Amino acid sequence: MWIERLDASHALDYRALMLEAYDLHPQAFTSSVRERAVMPLSWWESRLSNKLDVVFGAFEGGELAGIVGLAFEPREKARHKATLFGMYVSGKVRQRGVGYHLVQAALAEAQDHKGLRLIQLTVTAGNEAAFKLYQRCGFIQFGLEPLAVRVGEDYFDKIHMWREL
């Protein structure tokens, strides 16, 4: 397994893995597969090549098997914060430390950004594996957003976490 920063050339694989994530775990993401499936490939390419987001991919056997993003805040008063987003590891490679290595890659990237002081994220309440992963990586809970995501008739809370750099 190796991890690298994704760019526009990875857009097709990134799109496929994210659509899988939205489909299999709709409660974990605020975007839906229906919303994102209609986006043109150029939208996915721009997601991987804009200056405010960095997306890392974990590759296993030459295939993209995991992803995580780091979004930097453009506003002057909030530039000290970044948001970890879009974390997903394919079921084929779970329980192998892929998620941990992806988060570590994002944290290393964050360390290189002058003035960045903290990273925040949200995780769906009840997703114990993800919650424990983030705790192992130094994140702590600071809040709970009730009814944060609606999937059909069901609502899911989001745990807010942060980590100082």
Domain count, the chain: 1
pLDDT of residue 51: 86
pLDDT of residue 17: 98
Whether the full predicted model's pTM is greater than 0.85, yes or no, is: yes
Q: What is the pLDDT of residues 34-67, one digit of tens each?
A: 999 999 999 999 999 988 899 999 999 999 999 9
* Full residue range of the structural domain in which residue 126 is found: 2-164
Kindly report the CATH number assigned to the domain that includes residue 34.
3.40.630.30
- Which strands, in side-by-side order, build the sheet including 2-5? 2-5, 53-60, 63-72, 81-89, 118-124, 154-164, 140-151
- pLDDT > 70: percent of the chain: 100
